[in-house]
Structure formats: C-alpha cells, structure tokens
Amino acid sequence: MIASLMMYARPELEGAHSRYWALIREELADVGIDTPETLSQNAPAFEVWENPNLVLSQTCGMPYRLHLKDKVTLVGTPDYGLPACESGYYRSPFVVRADDPRKELADFKNEIFAFNQPHSQSGYAAPYAHATSKGVWFDKLLQTGSHNISAAAVADGRADIAALDGMTWRLITQYEAFAKHLRVLEWTSPTPGLPLITAKTNDPEKIFSAVQNAISRLAPEDKAALHLKSLVKIPAADYLAVPNPPEIKSKTP
C-alpha cells in the first residue's frame, strides 16, 4: 500500500498533513480500507500514481489526461477557495520581478520563461494556452523541476517570467522571503484543480466520503494552514477536455 499528498507539501505544513492523513486513515478504517501508516511524500510522483496498491494521492490534470486516466480512478478534487475560481478549480499567475516595469505578456516574448515540468497543467499547459491565445510564446525556456524553484529563478534573475500553480503561489507568498521581489503580471483562465486519485481496484465513493469527513474533522488551524474548504466532484470528462500543448521544441537557455 502507498499514499501521498505531496503536491502542496512544505516543511511548514508537515504536521498539518500528518494530522490530516491520520483522520483520513481513521475514516478509511471504518469502511474496511487498509492504509499505510505514513505518507510517502518524497517518493517519485509517477511511482506513486501508477502503483497498483495506491490508496490515495493527488495528481495534476495534465498527467491524469495524458498518462493516468486508464490506470487510476478519480476520487474528488479539493477546494482551496482560490479567488475568481469555482469550487475545485485553480488558475496560474504569470509572475515577474516586482521592479520590472513591463506591463504586457508580449513584452516578455524574447525573455526566459521558467516552468516546472512539461507535463504540468498550471506550469506549462495553462500558460501555453493563455499566451498563444494572445499570439505570444517564449523563445527561451528554463525547466526547473518545481514551481517554487521557478518563482525563485525569476526573483534572482535566472529567468524573467514564470507561471505557477495558484495554490502554490499562495503558499509562496506566505512562506518565502523572495516573494516580496515578485508580482503577478496576469492570470490564466481557471481549469479543474489537482484531483485525488486511487487505484482502479478501490471504491472511490468510500474514499471520497472518508476524505470529506476528515476535512470536516480537521482542527480549524490545520484546515486554515492547508487552505482546505471541502472535496468536490469534477467529472473526468472536464479534465480530459482541457487542451494539451505541443511537445517542447525550444532549447533551454
């Protein structure tokens, strides 16, 4: 058995995530579902997501529609109460340095765009759809491996612009000192947020209820720290309808 809630994991949230998982375990035990005692927060993502003994994890919309849709079952999507988004949806901010005077996305066309992964909905697919709808894309791409590193790369001058997961940006503004050196240039349109998934052999309805009950039982301070509002159901068809960008062909700088 394996479980992971690594997508918004941070050292500052380790305790809250552990208590959240303990409540989920209690709820799952009540309906006869065995669980690992601890979360595998540092395990490689696809090793978790594709594990046939997966109890629960959180993935991203683009990996789900490209690689996982026939291998896992959707459980539900956490609602983080993000502004200008319906429940369970999120947006990507394009961030630039706070002292950069440029005001339009097109002003950054010839600059370095930092992104976490080419299979990221918020870091690559959503910004690609948004930028190309304006006739813009970036000539220089810097793959960083994480949203946090992308943001830091802009702050310290290794890149000029980046697109981030809206929830991750919220956490960056809370916990990272470099956030004061950044500002949001503009936002993408909302898309379905990061869904919880389980192995095909598990009952998603039982797991949905268990997670929803765990959220309702969370201590107010943990719920606030994790920004959890509730769990909602977004149809698989809504995830699959989101367009994919072409494969990356530009050379990194």
Mind listing the pLDDT tens digit for each residue in 200-233? 999 999 999 999 999 999 999 999 999 999 999 9
pLDDT one-digit tens code per residue, 86-127: 999 999 999 999 999 999 999 999 999 999 999 999 999 999
Cα–Cα dist 19/22, whole Å: 5
**Domains in the chain, please, with CATH?**
2-82+192-240 (3.40.190), 92-189 (3.40.190.10)
The pLDDT tens digits of the residues spanning 180-208 come to 999 999 999 999 999 999 999 999 999 99
- For residue 248, pLDDT over 80 is answered with no
What token pair was written down for 43? 């395990």
C-alpha 168/C-alpha 140 separation (Å) is 23
d(CA 207, CA 233): 12
The pair of structure tokens assigned to 206 is 């039982």
| Residue 249 confidence (pLDDT) | 59
Q: Which helix (H) or strand (E) holds 176?
A: none
Contact residues for 101 (Cβ-Cβ < 8 A; gap 6+): none
pTM of the entire predicted model: 0.95
Residues 128-156 as b/e (b if ≥16 CB within 10 A, e otherwise) read bbbbeeeeeebebbbbbeebbbbbbbbbe
